[in-house]
Each structure stands twice: as structure tokens, then as C-alpha cells.
Amino acid sequence: MVKQKSPYTRARKVFGLLFVLSTFFLLLFVLYTPPLPVAVHPTPEEPFPTPIPTEKLFPTPALSEPFGNFIVISMITSIISLFGVISSTILGWRREKRETKLAELEGKRQEIEIEKMRFELDKMKTTEEERRIKK
């Protein structure tokens, strides 16, 4: 039996590559995004810790805003890629399972045909022998 390449192989590879890349960028942005600092010592006017604005700590606040957007986009891409990898893998498995069953059925059908032909051949031989005996 000749094994055919699944049409889902390419999709599986593309989604797998997208998943790996988006997960890499997600980790990159999570590790290198500056955290939002919190005041450690509360003041009497504010008994609970309050976030310190990033403008006071980082001179360029424009950097922290795009990183947040990149993290969200990277997470969405990771999730979609993961679903793509899973679905294309499942579809590929189902197709391979279906092809295996069809191949087994085809093999059984051929065996039955061979047995049927042998039976007919034996029947023809016996009828020929009977004709020879009668002559």
C-alpha cells in the first residue's frame, strides 16, 4: 500500500510554527516588560499601597504601552495557533484511521475474490474431468 501524504500536514506545520513563534514572543515580552511598581510603605493619608505612575519611574512611558498590546496580541496568536495545531492533528489522525480501515476492507475483499476464483477454477476442473471420463 502506498502511503499518501495527509493534506493536513502542511497546516499542522504552519500552525505549529506560529504557535512556537507566538509563544516565544509572549515570553519575550512578559520577561522584558517593566512591572508596575507598588509603593511599599503606605502614607497615613493612603493606608493601602497605591501604584506609582510609570511616568515617574521610566522616562519614556511610550515603551510600556506598546508592550502591553504586543503581549495581548501574542497571547491571542498563541491560543489560535494552539487550536490550529490541535485541530489539524486530530483531523489528520481521523483521516489516517479511515484510510487504514479502508485498506483493511480492500484487502479482505481481494481475499474473498481470490477464494471465489479458486472455487470457480476447481469447479471448472471437476467439470472438465467429468467430461473426459464420460467420453
pLDDT at 61: 43
Phi, psi of 49 (to 5 degrees): -60, 140
pLDDT at 53: 58
Q: What are the Cα distances from residue 44, in Å, to 38, 51, 53?
A: 16, 16, 19
**Residues of 36-54 as b/e, b for ≥16 C-beta within 10 angstroms?**
eeeeeeeeeeeeeeeeeeb
State the chain's mean pLDDT as an integer.
76
Cβ neighbour number for residue 74 with a 10 Å cutoff: 20
For 96, counting Cβ atoms within 10 Å of its Cβ (0-12 exposed, 13-18 middle, 19+ buried), the class is middle
Considering only residues 56 and 32, tell me which one the structure prediction assigns the higher pLDDT. 32
Residue 10 has pLDDT above 90, yes or no: no
Average pLDDT over residues 76-101: 86
Average pLDDT over residues 52-80: 64
Distance CA(69)–CA(55), nearest Å, equals 18
Helix (H), strand (E) counts: the chain: 3, 0
Residue 74 has pLDDT above 70, yes or no: yes
pLDDT digits (tens, 9 = 90+) for 12-49: 788 888 888 888 887 777 777 666 555 455 566 665 65
Determine which of 22-26, 106-110, 113-117 has the lowest per-residue pLDDT on average: 22-26
Global pTM? Answer: 0.45
